[in-house]
Amino acid sequence: MLGDMVYLASQSPRRLALLRQLGLDPGVLDVEVLEERLNGEPALDYVNRVAREKAGAGLLKVLGAPEARVLAADTEVILDDAVFGKPLDAADAARMLRQLSGRVHTVVTVVWLLSAATEASARSVSEVRFAALSEAEIHDYLATDEWKGKAGGYAIQGRAATFIEHLSGSYSGVMGLPLFETARLLRNSGVTV
């Protein structure tokens, strides 16, 4: 039954698991949003726009439930203003990992919470320093398939954790849903977490 409920506009099992850590059991909405950066669009604006479009697409699916709240997020890896989204294939993931190797990059997650009456958003910005990676380490990591569907071609909650020399920011934000910011958004909209 649709009603005073939170919906997650994402098929991400990581985001669903993170929301469940907050004590929620959200409905899951499958939304399709084109994730393509516009010419000249600043990286942070791009992440914000995609997250907002995901939430908006989700809200359209539950218009019959005026009390429904739709939560959506977008996570991107940014290095030198280049946005590293989900790799197209293993070669693309290898390219990303080579570029991130031995460098500090930014991981931005923007979360939007929409309802028929309100909208609010939050942003998490984390700095991640990768160790220098050998070709063998990259090859072995790609063989795990863990990189599939992950911004920047890696999963902090998996084997790629061994690549990270330092993290300044939100671990859950790098995973795809910053729990502190998300909990605050939900509480401010009247959801108990």
Q: Per residue in 130-184, pLDDT tens? A: 999 999 999 999 999 999 999 999 999 999 999 999 999 999 999 999 999 999 9
Give the per-residue pLDDT at 65: 87
Q: What is the 3-state composition of the chain as percent helix, strand, coil, each rounded to the nearest 5?
A: 35, 25, 40
| Three-point CA angle 78, 38, 53, nearest 5° | 85
Closest Cα to residue 9, out of 64, 68, 73, 86?
73
The first and second tokens of residue 182, run together, are: 């998300």
89 is catalytic: no
Helices (H) and strands (E) in the chain, counts: 6, 7
Catalytic residue among 30, 45, 74, 80: 74
Which range (2-16, 89-103, 168-182) has the least confidence? 2-16
Query: In this structure, what is the dihedral angle of CA atoms 135, 137, 143, 148, given to the nearest 10 degrees?
Result: -90
Map out the domains of the chain with their CATH numbers.
Answer: 6-188 (3.90.950.10)
What pLDDT digit, counting tens, does each position of 32-90 carry?
A: 999 999 999 999 999 999 999 999 999 999 988 888 999 999 999 999 999 999 999 99
Rounded to whole angstroms, the Cα distance separating 126 from 167 reads: 7
Closest Cα to residue 166, out of 126, 124, 134?
126
